[in-house]
Amino acid sequence: MRAKLEVFALVLGFIGLFGTIAVTALPMWRVSAFIGANLIVMEELWEGLWMNCYRQANIRMQCKVYDSLLILPPELQVARGLMCVSIVLVFISLAVTGCGTQKSSCCDDNRKSKNIALALGGGLYLLSFLTTLIPVSWVGHTVISNFYSPTVLESQKRELGEALFIGWATSGILLITGFILLFSYSKRRSKEEEPNFDTYLMEERDVQKEGSVYLERTTSSFHKHQEYV
């Protein structure tokens, strides 16, 4: 059962890797909001971490890479860095977890090394969960705050893009993966401690036997007399 759970965690890890890559690459972090006099349904504006895309009427969508990182707002600058870190963390987590599974031939079937790899992989997944959730939530909070702020012009207001929703779903997958691996690690540890406890009891019994007084049984004089006769 634990082997199947670890394989399921690997599958979730691959989904989390593809999710973090998709969230980082998609330009739909902030999309144009159609409110007030700006109700033009044939016009779209997408803003992402690396580029913005614009489409009007029947014109093909045109995307342009940002000329400089400094022109981005602080939340997008931080999001770009943290999402790149998330991709690296998830990739390392997959490699480490693959070595720590029961069916893996890595570590020369050393149970202790596999347990350490499994625990390390679970911890890295939880860390990647944080590095994915923080930028997505920060950008989402900024978009919502600006949308309801009376000081922001209607033309500058944005709505939540599809990339943010994918990011929240991906962070949830990474969190579940980390918990599954740590749960499997705890089960392994509890199973390893059981034979050690039995060995300790057997050693304790041997010590008691060694400390006990052994009385050699001697033959009686009557028995010797019968043997002489």
Q: Which CATH number fits domain 2-228: 1.20.1250.20, 3.40.190.80, 1.20.140.150, 3.30.930.10?
A: 1.20.140.150
22-69 per-position pLDDT tens digit: 999 999 999 886 655 545 556 788 899 999 888 776 777 888 898 888
How would you write 17-43 as a 3-class SS string?
HHHHHHHHHCCCCEEECCCHHHCCCCE
69-119 per-position pLDDT tens digit: 888 889 999 999 999 999 999 999 998 888 777 665 665 566 677 778 888
Alpha-carbon torsion, ordered 93, 95, 100, 105, to 10 deg: 170
Residue 228 pLDDT more than 50? Answer: no
Residue 196 pLDDT more than 60? Answer: no
Residue showing tokens 């790149």? 84
Tell me how far apart the alpha carbons of residues 51 and 12 are, in angstroms, rounded to a whole number. Answer: 29
Total residues found in the chain within this entry: 229
Predicted confidence band at 155 (pLDDT cuts at 50, 70, 90)?
Answer: confident
How would you write 123-167 as a 3-class SS string?
HHHHHHHHHHHHHHHHHHHHHHHHHCCCCCCHHHCEEECHHHHHH
Domain boundaries, the chain: 2-228
Alpha-carbon torsion, ordered 155, 23, 84, 68, to 10 deg: -30
Q: Please tell me which residue, 218 or 58, carries the higher pLDDT value.
A: 58
Beta-bridge partners for 65: 51
Q: Please tell me which residue, 112 or 214, carries the higher pLDDT value.
A: 112
